[in-house]
A and B are shown apart, each in its own frame.
Chain A
Amino acid sequence: MTLDRLLRIVSLRFRSLARRDDVERELDDEMRDHIERETAANVRRGMSLSAARTMALREFGGIEYHKEGARDQRGTRWLEELTADVRFAFRSLRNSPTFAAVVVLTLALGIGANTAIFSVVRGVLLKPLPHRDGDRLLYLRHSASGPGQSNLTFSVPEVRDLRSGVPSLSGIAEYSSWMVMQQTKDGPVRINVGLVTGNFFEVMGLSPILGRLTQPSDDGRAAHRVAVLAYEYWLKQFGGDSSVVGTQVSLDRQPVTIIGVLQPAPFFPNRVEMLLNLVNSEHHLGASMQDNRLHRMTEVVARMKPGASIEQVRAEVATVYKRVTREFSEAYPAAGGYNVAVIPFKTVMGEKARLTLWLLMASAAFVLIVSAANVANLTLMRGVRREHELVVRTALGAGAGRLRRLLLVENLLLTLFGGSLGILIANAGVRLLKAFAERYSTRTADIRLDGIVFAFTLAVSVGVALVLSFLASLPREARIGSRIMTGAQRSSGGLGRRRMQRSLVVVQIAVTVVLLAGAGLLTRTMIELSHVDTGLTSEDVLTMRVTQLTRAERSDSTLAAVARQRFEEMRDQIAALPGVTAVGIGGTLPLRSEDFFYLVQAEGKPPAAGETLTRVEFRGADQNFFRAAGVPLIKGRMFSTSDKDVVIVNKTFVDRFFPNEDPIGKRIAWKADWQPDSLHWGLTIVGVVGNTRDGRLDAPPRMVAFELMSRMPTQTAGFVIRASGSTPGLPAQATRIVRRVAPLALVDNVMTVAQFRQQSVSPQRLNAGLITSFGALAVIIAAVGIGGVLAFAVSARTNEIGIRMSLGADSGRVQRMVLREGGTLVAIGLVLGVVGAYLSAGVIRGLLFGVTPNDPMTYIAVGVTMATIGVIACWIPALRAARIDPAIAMRAS
């Protein structure tokens, strides 16, 4: 089509719409002109003027008919009809404002919940990664069977094997999570960093927004210490200052040059503030780390070559791994269950969030189903009341298509309005959800209401409108006559329609029950978790973690001695504070875990052939730690200051090694799992303490051996401070003492054990809270639904009820009749819902603790709740039915 023709067409269409009156007048003029010319021609043929005119008119035919024919050519007719429909829909909704308000509100809640959750699902799970060709990024996970071995990470020799043996990868980069102390003008802070090989950013496909990123020349001992700032940290800590590149920061008391700022990108497995080259860690370039096959602390990301498939990579990795495990069989005992999984990076980033988010998405969808069912019911009832109107419209010549379209426009108006309101609701909810999602994913920066989310909302709104429009049945041609005759004023609709309404109520109740069951199980989980017996006798104990030395400094014996002496000074001064009854020092604070394991063998218990040594968590403690922390002593004694080479173990340890023996006095041997050398004998068990739920409240207690704090590295100490009575000033006082004794020390985790516990349950609490509010929402909407349907049935049956009452039915009987009708629906819905929940609850097994997916108590509680609310919802229309005055009811007909 040529441009000038296109322009002409567009301007004509536009004129037809915008200057409709002009166009219509021109059409009039044109027709009139034709008739006048014909008249004149007829006169020329010898007719009289009036005869000529009559003739011309007759020949012309129906003027309006021809006009319609001409108008049809404008191609704008549909739009004109649509505007008429919209105007009409507006008018008819304004005539029933309550209906419109209820529908819009319920839809807004349903659509809002879906929009908000979808924005999180999209941001965390679906959105393409910001990395260049992010779908080619892979994460390699090394695992073995046994507790704490689900992610072993790799050793440098293992990475070397992969590098040389997997040709379909274009690059393999190493990454270790690390913590360093940064000196800021507000004192030292601990920050999470990633130690990366020079090729890391190349493999990840990330670019700098300022300066440069690390490159292979930053590897090795001779390289300078350099840091790349993560985008968020650059904004937060450096105020987005672009002159920061080239300046130095002090990390672990070493000057490190900032070489660039990274584009915004999510990290795995945790958030990092900076990425450093390996020279920043003595440890990482040390001989053990570089050459020891068992010294595993490197995460591996890899990039596939273009055209390579993940199956290919998997096959190649498996080949390499098979060769390596054969070659170094002592490093991979057959019983260990060693395995390397190749996982798309996007998948691994979302793995912690996946189940929770899809559960939330499903719950939101359930809320939408319940609210859409309500709207459908309201539409059906209104459809009945409007039946007469529709019949009249049909009789006046509105085609079925046009009527259907009118309904669709009306429903679209409702759902789009509800959708817009829903977006406002979602907008408010997204911030809350973002904070929620931060516990599961590092991709939360990507959560926002963007074009795709709006498209989703639009699709949902239009979808609901479509479903609603095709639920209402239009009057059939054949029935029109009889409908007009009867007037159909108090019709309760056909049998099919009533059945539809009831099915919708049953669906609502069933879906609500499923939702409530989920909410109940998660709430039970949360309650169970917060009542888990931690093994501590009291949780009202203040804790704080004090770090004096960096990793490099702790091997300096002079510095270590000074630090140890200062820790003791702090302990003694805090113990002297008023109200303080005990102060202990531990390597790790109660309920927390540093995941520091040794392989252990007990005296007289060599591992059977093919069995591996047992992994035992090692924690440091001083002589006061157990008393201060409230860890009960079961057997033997606590540490004393004169102790050397002794160990206190927990109950799980004893159960494993000495099930029917007295462990006191027994010796154990240990070695680091990455040390090839033989076991160190020389630790004697002097005491047994109770189990505590360290690390995770929902995990079974692990085997723990406590060593004397003085034997452990001294960079960090956890203070456990027990006080009697109310001591609100204690945290500040203790912090002051620490600062006075060691001005450069880093103090964090200042909180009571109870506070820490609350904090660690908060994801489950939020989870339960969200699903419960969805459940509550569904209950309310479903209650409105069943109440509304019954009320409608009652009002439609007023006449019948009047007859029944005048024939002797008393009001109690009428009330029971209505209640029975509602109760049946509730009961069917309940049964279906419970069965559905029972069958599907296994899906959330992974989110539960202390309760099975088919926990009978939960189901009973949910059933009782739903039944109660259902009966209350039925009661109101039942009461109304009972109050019908037969005389009035029958007179009215």
Chain B
Amino acid sequence: MSKPNDLVQGTLDLLILKMLAVDSMNGWAIAERLKEASSDVLRVSTGSLYPALHKLEQQGWIVAEWRPSENNRRAKFYSLTRAGRKHLQLESDNWDRLASAISAVMRLRET
């Protein structure tokens, strides 16, 4: 329940951090924008999204702040902390390495 299993493990964290590096936003918007940005490929369920958000918050990578929403209720907006930005840099480098490694393997010619 606590681990998102509909995405490659750990990548959800990376994606969330990346989204928040673009702009600070709330949970719903993160899911929507992710869907948009990935042309509907990456869909994150609420059951994965909120545990992941709360985990990142507890780990000090992101920080939450309450702002009035459009309909004048409170809405929770997340943004990256400085530590989170560094962490994202590290993780995305890792991801690049991993991704290029995997595609290099996949490009092997089959006989």
Contacts and interface: CB of A to CB of B under 8 A. Distances in A.
A70 B59 contact: no
Interface of B: 1-2, 26-29, 32, 45-47, 50-51, 53-55, 57-60, 63, 66, 69, 71, 73-76, 81-83
A604 to B, nearest CB: 100
B82 to A, nearest CB: 7
Contacts of A34: 26-28, 46
B50 A37 contact: no
Contacts, number: 82
A66 B47 CA distance: 5
Contacts of B1: 65, 68-69, 72
Contact of B58 (A31, A66, A75): A75
B74 A29 contact: yes
B58 A12 contact: yes
B82 A4 contact: yes
B27 A30 contact: yes
Interface residues of A, number: 32
A591 to B, nearest CB: 78
Interface in A19-41: 26, 29-34, 36-38, 41
Given A68-B1, A72-B2, A33 B46 contact: no
A41 B70 CA distance: 13
B2 A33 contact: no
Contacts of A38: 28
A73 interface: yes
Contact of B50 (A2, A9, A69): A69
A69 B51 contact: yes
A61 interface: yes
Contact of A65 (B47, B55, B71, B75): B47
Contacts of A60: 46
Contacts of A37: 26, 28-29
A69 B47 contact: yes
A74 interface: yes
B54 to A, nearest CB: 4
Contacts of B60: 5-6, 8-9, 12
A244 B29 CA distance: 83
Contacts of A26: 66, 76
B54 A73 contact: yes
Interface of A: 2, 4-6, 8-9, 12-13, 26, 29-34, 36-38, 41, 59-61, 65-66, 68-75
Question: Closest 7 A-B residue pairs measured CB to CB?
Answer: A73-B54, A5-B60, A69-B51, A37-B28, A73-B55, A5-B83, A8-B60
Given A4-B83, A5-B83, A12 B57 contact: yes
A2 B54 contact: no
A191 to B, nearest CB: 68
Given A30-B27, A61-B47, A2 B83 contact: yes
B67 to A, nearest CB: 11
B7 to A, nearest CB: 15
User: Which of B32, B63, B75, B82 counts the most chain A CB atoms within 10 A?
Assistant: B75
16 contacts: A9-B59, A12-B58, A12-B60, A26-B66, A29-B73, A30-B26, A31-B50, A32-B73, A33-B27, A33-B73, A33-B74, A36-B71, A37-B29, A60-B46, A70-B50, A74-B58
Given A34-B28, A73-B57, 15 more contacts: A4-B81, A5-B81, A9-B59, A12-B58, A30-B76, A33-B74, A37-B26, A38-B28, A60-B46, A66-B46, A66-B51, A69-B2, A72-B51, A73-B51, A74-B58
A69 B2 CA distance: 5
Contacts of B55: 73
A30 B50 contact: yes
A863 B69 CA distance: 85
B53 to A, nearest CB: 8
Contacts of B46: 34, 59-61, 66
Nearest to A63: B46
A26 B76 CA distance: 8
Contacts of B59: 9
Contacts of B54: 70-71, 73-74
